[in-house]
Amino acid sequence: MLIRPPQQATLADLATHKLAQSIVTGELAQGQKLNEAELAERFGMGRGPLREALRQLEGLRLVKRIPNVGVRVVVLDRKTLSDLYAVREALEGMACRIAASQMSDDEIAQLAALLDKHEAQIAQQGGKLYAQSEGDLDFHYQIARGSRNQMLMDLLGSEQYQLLRMCRYRTSRNAQRTKPALSQHRQIVEALANRDGELAELLMRRHIQGAWRSISEMIDQEEREAA
């Protein structure tokens, strides 16, 4: 449970969290219709809190809702993901540039340590692509934190982060990109350590572009398989 472990929470908050988890992990398929009564029963609560949860998920863009008809899990098609990566490039690029001047030496050191841990995980490679993927997101989130921009953290952390995780689960098979990604991460950390914001931004943008190319090819492949 990487995100928001709700300590003191209402039932609606619980439901929001569980549903988000289920959607991100693919337990609830893309485009699937969500039945209020059924979900309420499954979670052991009334329909009231559940409806509130659905409203919140709508705000997080994890579901789409049509009045008097119902809500469905969003569908991550090619265009949506393309848009997402374009926005990420701008946002995370900015985060990197600012983080280069704002992060403490200690924070940057921690970032480097995170990559070491990350590398060790790859070495083991015990099918733990999941953990690897979450680790990567951690890296990106730490940089967002380094920008000291709460709005940026919210954007990257809540909405985009979730969609991205969703995408990862879908395409978690491609392990071949983990090594170049790690190398790029290291370059970014080095730029941060040198307080070179411009370079850090450039490297991050390239990194995300590379990730998009990789994802894009995978989608092409899927589409070809489907045809």
Give me the count of residues in the chain: 227
Per CB under 7 A, the list member of 4, 26, 29, 37 interacting with DNA is: 37
Structure tokens at 224: 């070809």
Among 26-34, 79-87, 168-176, 181-189, the segment contacting a second copy (CB under 8 A) = 79-87
Site string for DNA, 62-91 (x = CB under 7 A): ---x-xxxxx--------------------
AA letter at 93: G
Considering only 11, 87, 112, 193, the residue that binds DNA (CB under 7 A) is 11
In this complex, which beta carbon is closest to DNA, that of residue 19 or of residue 211? 19
Q: Which stretch binds a second copy (CB under 8 A): 35-43, 85-93, 101-109, 210-218?
A: 85-93
Which residue of 6, 29, 33, 198 would you call a contact of DNA, by CB under 7 A?
A: 33
DSSP bridge partners of 63: 73
Question: What are all long-range contacts of 69-74, with beta carbons under 8 Å and residues at least 24 apart?
Answer: 70/33, 70/34, 70/35, 70/36, 71/33, 71/34, 72/31, 72/32, 72/33, 72/34, 73/23, 73/28, 73/29, 73/30, 73/31, 73/32, 73/34, 74/23, 74/30, 74/31, 74/163
Q: How far is CA 58 from CA 3, 33, 122, 127, in A?
A: 18, 13, 35, 33
208 binds, among a second copy, DNA, none (CB under 5 to 8 A by kind): none
Note whether 34 binds DNA by CB under 7 A: yes
Task: Give whichever of 12 and 84 is closer to DNA, judged by the CB atom.
Answer: 12
Please list every residue from 2 through 61 that binds a second copy, using CB under 8 A.
8-10, 12-13, 48, 51-53, 55-56, 58-61
Could you tell me which residues come within 8 angstroms of residue 215 by beta carbon, excluding any fewer than 6 positions away?
A: 81, 85, 167, 171
CB of 197 to a second copy, least distance (A): 13
Write out the residues near DNA by the rule CB under 7 A.
8, 10-12, 33-37, 44-49, 51, 65, 67-71
